[in-house]
Amino acid sequence: MKRFIVILSLTFASLEVGLLATPPEKEPPEIVPIVAIIYIKDMIDLGLAPFIERSIKTAETEGVTHLILEINTFGGRLDAAVQIRDALLNTKLETIAFINKRAISAGALIWAGRTWARCCRIT
């Protein structure tokens, strides 16, 4: 009888050690959005397109999850706007474009190329 109790005790002890050695289930890490804002204002020219492309690449390497464009422009060069729009369409970042006052001509082309695009006045 003592032998049976010892074996039973050892069995329960090994089960308890096994349960204690098992790490608790981890909750999935909470994803905190990291947002970058790019301001597109004044004239859209060929100097702006490389700047936007560099900004997008920097945001991607820095772990940014969302990119916000604030647009206030009368427009400018359409070839530069097409380059900017293509860069925005090729990024994997969630991109939101806001029009703050105006997006005329080339600015409207950039604004229309996004998944999330809204017109509003930012104060």
Residue with the bigger pLDDT between 21 and 80: it is 80
- Is residue 4 a part of any domain in this protein? no
Query: What is the count of structural domains for the chain?
Result: 1
What is the CA angle 41-35-28, rounded to 5? 165
- Is residue 16 a part of any domain in this protein? no
- Is residue 101 a part of any domain in this protein? yes
Q: How do residues 49-97 score in pLDDT, each as one tens digit? A: 999 999 999 999 999 999 999 999 999 999 999 999 999 999 999 888 8
CA distance readout (Å), 98 to 19, 56, 94, 102: 54, 17, 13, 10
Q: Is 99 exposed, middle or buried, given 0-12, 13-18 or 19+ CB atoms closer than 10 A? A: buried
Residue matched to tokens 């100097």: 47
- Is residue 44 a part of any domain in this protein? yes
CA–CA separation, 56 vs 39, rounded Å? 12
pLDDT of residue 118: 56
- Is residue 94 a part of any domain in this protein? yes
Percent of the chain with pLDDT over 90: 51
- Is residue 73 a part of any domain in this protein? yes
- Is residue 27 a part of any domain in this protein? no
The H-or-E segment that residue 10 falls in is helix 2-21
pTM, entire model: 0.69
Q: Residue 77's domain is classified under what CATH number?
A: 3.90.226.10
Judged by DSSP in three states, 50 sits in helix
